[in-house]
């Protein structure tokens, strides 16, 4: 079974973002902790996909990490990057199975919002065409907004990844009304994207409290989770952290059927 094509029998696929393992390594220098070893432990725990964001400033994942992951990962790689000429050149050389185009601002701590596909349509469309020629399956990381979903459908990308940050923050704050409002935005975007023939992913800010709701939401095929999972791994280990999130997804998906 190809997890990128066939329906997932256990609910959405789990993409584990290993960026912050590299962040910890880079804080001290040297080679430990090793993002590759963390990635392999996540796979042992049930990760279906390994996600990483190669930033312009190389603040966490570095080019050498990408090469080692490409050579040794037993599961598909999801290469997050800005749609710049330099990054597209690197992606064409690495040829990961999956690419997620994201916005990037030098001073942000983490990705702060979705890609403006509508406002940058020609550049995004050209990037999608170029990456498709390289054999990469492209997703576009966007806010759950109707005009952005429409632009994605016209861009040539087969997938969208919906930004779940506002929903996750509302759940974390215990703001049920705000969480429900954000969930309805996400639900509407999922339905619109699926009607347009797009495969739907979701991610950003998800933890063990917010993940179950999205895992049970019909139509979401992949969940990409990083910071909270790596944080959980500090207490239980990377393999167990992935296993805990995988079990959380399966329970929620099973309850939703």
List, by residue number, the catalytic residues: 53, 80, 204
CA-CA distance, 50 to 1, in Å (whole number)? 18
DSSP 3-state of 122: helix
Distances (CA, A) of 176 to 17, 168, 192, 255: 27, 11, 24, 20
Give the distance, in angstroms, between the CA of residue 173 and the centroid of all CA atoms in the same chain: 23
Q: CB under 8 Å to 64, separation ≥6 — which residues?
A: none
CA-CA distance, 243 to 68, in Å (whole number)? 23
Q: CB under 8 Å to 243, separation ≥6 — which residues?
A: 45, 46
Q: CB under 8 Å to 255, separation ≥6 — which residues?
A: 216
Length of the chain: 257
> For 200-226, b where at least 16 C-beta lie within 10 A, e where not — what string?
bbbbbbbbeebbbbbbbbebbbbbbbb
């Amino acid at each position: 079974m190809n997890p990128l094509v066939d329906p997932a029998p256990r609910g959405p696929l789990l993409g584990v973002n290993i960026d912050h393992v590299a962040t910890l390594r880079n804080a001290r220098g040297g080679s430990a902790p090793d993002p590759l070893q963390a990635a392999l432990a996540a796979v042992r725990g049930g990760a279906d996909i390994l996600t990483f964001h190669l930033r312009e400033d190389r603040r966490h994942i570095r080019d050498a990490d990408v090469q080692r992951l490409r050579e040794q990962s037993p599961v598909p790689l999801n290469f997050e990057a800005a749609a710049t000429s330099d990054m597209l050149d690197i992606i064409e050389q690495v040829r990961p199975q999956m690419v997620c185009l994201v916005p990037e601002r030098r001073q942000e701590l983490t990705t702060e919002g979705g890609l403006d596909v509508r406002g940058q349509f020609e550049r995004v469309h050209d990037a999608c065409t170029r990456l498709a020629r390289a054999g990469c399956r492209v997703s576009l990381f966007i806010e759950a907004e109707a005009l952005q979903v429409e632009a994605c459908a016209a861009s040539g990308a087969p997938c969208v990844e919906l930004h779940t940050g506002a929903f996750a923050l509302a759940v974390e704050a215990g703001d049920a009304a705000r969480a429900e409002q954000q969930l309805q935005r996400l639900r509407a975007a999922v339905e619109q994207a699926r009607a347009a023939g797009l495969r739907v992913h979701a991610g950003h800010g998800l933890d063990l409290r917010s993940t179950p709701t999205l895992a049970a939401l019909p139509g979401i095929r992949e969940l990409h989770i990083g910071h909270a999972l790596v944080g959980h791994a500090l207490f239980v280990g990377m393999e167990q952290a992935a296993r805990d999130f995988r079990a959380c997804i399966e329970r929620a998906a099973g309850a939703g059927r």
